[in-house]
Amino acid sequence: MTTCYENARVFTADAHSAECFVVKDGVFAFVGKADAAHRAYPEAERIDLRGQFVCPGFNDSHMHLLNIGCMLTQAQLGPASDSLSHMLSALAEYVNTHPQEEWILGHCWNQDDFTDEKRYPTRDDLDRVCPDKPCLISRVCGHVAVANSRALERCGIDTHAIPVDGGRIVTDETGRPNGVLEENAISLVTTQIPAPDRRQIKDMLLLAMAHVNRYGVTSVQTDDFVTTKAPFEEVIAAYLELRAEGRMTVRVTQQCQLPNLETLRRFLSLGYNTGWGDEWFRLGPLKLIADGSLGTRTALLNAPYADAPDTCGIAVYTQEALDELVLTAHQAGMQIAVHAIGDGAADRVLHAIERAQTICPRSDARHGIVHAQVLTQAQAERMKQLNMHAYLQPIFLDYDTMIVYPHLGSRADEAYPAASLLRRGVTISGGSDSPVEPPDVLTGIQCAVTRESVTRPSRAPYLPREALSLRDALLSYTAFGAYASFEENIKGRIAPGMLADFTVLAIDPFETDPSVIHRIPVRQTVLGGKAV
Ligand SMILES: [Zn+2]
């Protein structure tokens, strides 16, 4: 099967001058001028792209695909949040159309948008629409949820509240829990939800893959091992079945979250390692989480938060524990990617990587920091010395431009680096951390280029000297993403011999006002030559 795509504006990284490319058996066979393509491939079927823009398929270098799928299988209450009664009838509709579900889960309600009664729903509201099965619905922020009586019974908190560290079971005036759960109290219920079986995991992954395809995404680097209670073996098995059945619509690199030595050793003893798999499903780095997040002031800083002088955030591991995990994976030949948002966490990761490289030098290990939001120039230089990679999420700027100065004070003057990392020689790649943000690459590219919020009233750009050029922003979601997973020789560029993964945009972003890049329609997402 040979197809000649012509009359296109093809982004080839060097210049976007090519007008035509040929796909043969799932691989790019030719890029250049149409008459040369016709001579070399006279048999090819011709497709006229009518001047549309074509770039390599987008690669989201850090996200949570299974978590996206989990959320997509739940009741979507956001669109019904114009009133409490509408939200409850949407939930009732979901209950009626999902008789096979053991648990009824929903998310994204927001009482601020209710026009009838501006209050949290209660267990009594939920009992009216879901009397027979346990039900839990999360507020849009994820920090508040409401459970019905069946769910409260399962945790033994239906008649009286108990104290919860870092959380609260809300009660009515008689002392009876009213269903509202705050922060850590939510996990009393979520820990009761059974692990999904393999069929459910596959269904969730299929939904999530179709979802990201709409944004032009053909490759994801995803952290799925701790999303549900299913062990990592089940997650790997689900992907391998989908791959064998030919149902993958995204190429997947698994960022293997193995949070303790016991699990890491079990993984290694089974013969798994970075690079295991093929171009459809591959095991990537060991993924660790070193600190929390900036918005909740749990990111680990070296000095207290500007607006909370009593806290520096939290460290998930002691330095010794992090050092041991990193060294174990490094000596086994694994790549390592560690979530570090605060500069304190970055220091710990740099220490662990430097120590591992000193004990056991390895070239081209491509260890990385995921997020790297509060990162000094001195730390960036250490990353360069250690040949490290930065997994960035430019779409975070959409919200975080509002909180960086309040939380960080003057440290915000060198946070969220991007252009300076590239100039220094630190490799970078773009991602969304979805479902934290939508897997919306064009919005991410716009944020990277403008350093401004897309959805909120515009203020001055945040540190415009860190803005990427449009070319570098596109590369960060294509070729540089492929580099992060050691796949730069098989994908991420439109060039002969590369996998024919590409995205067709209605309009050339190089000829678009940067403030509206996010509105460019994605016309086609093509994986290995097949439209998905
Ligand atoms: Zn993440």
| pLDDT mean over 259-267 | 97
52 alpha carbon to ligand 1 midpoint, in Å? 33
Cα three-residue angle 524-70-300, rounded to 5 degrees: 100
What's the token pair of residue 340? 């570090």
Cα three-residue angle 290-293-297, rounded to 5 degrees: 115
| pLDDT mean over 25-44 | 96
Task: Give yes or no for a contact between 73 and 207, defined as CB atoms under 8 angstroms apart.
Answer: yes
The answer to whether domain 198-527 has CATH 3.20.20.140 is yes
Residue 13 has pLDDT above 80, yes or no: no
3-state SS class at 278: coil
| pLDDT mean over 124-142 | 94
| pLDDT mean over 79-106 | 96
CA 217 to chain centre: 12
Closest listed residue to residue 527, CA positions, set 274, 252, 235: 252
| pLDDT score, position 116 | 96
Task: Give yes or no for a contact between 8 and 54, defined as CB atoms under 8 angstroms apart.
Answer: yes
240 alpha carbon to ligand 1 midpoint, in Å? 23
185 alpha carbon to ligand 1 midpoint, in Å? 22
434 alpha carbon to ligand 1 midpoint, in Å? 7
Residue 271 has pLDDT above 80, yes or no: yes
Which pTM value belongs to this model?
0.92
431 alpha carbon to ligand 1 midpoint, in Å? 10
Predicted confidence band of residue 15 (pLDDT cuts 50, 70, 90): low
| pLDDT mean over 496-520 | 97
Per residue in 335-358, pLDDT (tens digit) is 999 999 999 999 999 999 999 999
295 alpha carbon to ligand 1 midpoint, in Å? 14
Contacts of 257 (CB under 8 A, 6+ apart): 223, 224, 225, 226, 287, 288, 289
Give me the residue spans of the domains in the chain: 2-51, 103-190, 198-527
| pLDDT score, position 176 | 96
What's the token pair of residue 427? 């490799």
Report the C-alpha gap between 11 and 146 in whole angstroms. 48
Residue 397 has pLDDT above 80, yes or no: yes
Predicted confidence band of residue 105 (pLDDT cuts 50, 70, 90): very high
| pLDDT score, position 290 | 95
Task: Give yes or no for a contact between 368 and 342, defined as CB atoms under 8 angstroms apart.
Answer: no
24 alpha carbon to ligand 1 midpoint, in Å? 36
| pLDDT mean over 435-463 | 92
331 alpha carbon to ligand 1 midpoint, in Å? 25
What's the token pair of residue 139? 């507020």
63 vs 15, residue with greater confidence: 63
Per residue in 175-225, pLDDT (tens digit) is 999 999 998 899 999 999 999 999 999 999 999 999 999 999 999 999 999
Per residue in 143-165, pLDDT (tens digit) is 899 999 999 999 999 999 999 88
| pLDDT score, position 422 | 98
Per residue in 355-391, pLDDT (tens digit) is 999 999 999 999 999 999 999 999 999 999 999 999 9
Average pLDDT, the chain: 95
504 alpha carbon to ligand 1 midpoint, in Å? 27
| pLDDT mean over 452-468 | 90
223 alpha carbon to ligand 1 midpoint, in Å? 7
Closest listed residue to residue 151, CA positions, set 129, 175, 179, 176: 179
CATH T-level fold of 103-190: Diaminopimelate Epimerase; Chain A, domain 1 (3.10.310)
125 alpha carbon to ligand 1 midpoint, in Å? 33
| pLDDT score, position 531 | 97
| pLDDT score, position 16 | 56
| pLDDT mean over 246-271 | 98
Is 198-527 in the same CATH topology as 103-190? Answer: no
Predicted confidence band of residue 137 (pLDDT cuts 50, 70, 90): very high
DSSP string, 294-321: TTTT-S--SS-BTTBTT----BSS-HHH
| pLDDT score, position 457 | 75
Report the C-alpha gap between 471 and 454 in whole angstroms. 19
Task: Give yes or no for a contact between 228 and 67, defined as CB atoms under 8 angstroms apart.
Answer: no
| pLDDT mean over 117-132 | 96
Contacts of 208 (CB under 8 A, 6+ apart): 65, 66, 68, 69, 72
Report the C-alpha gap between 83 and 33 in whole angstroms. 57
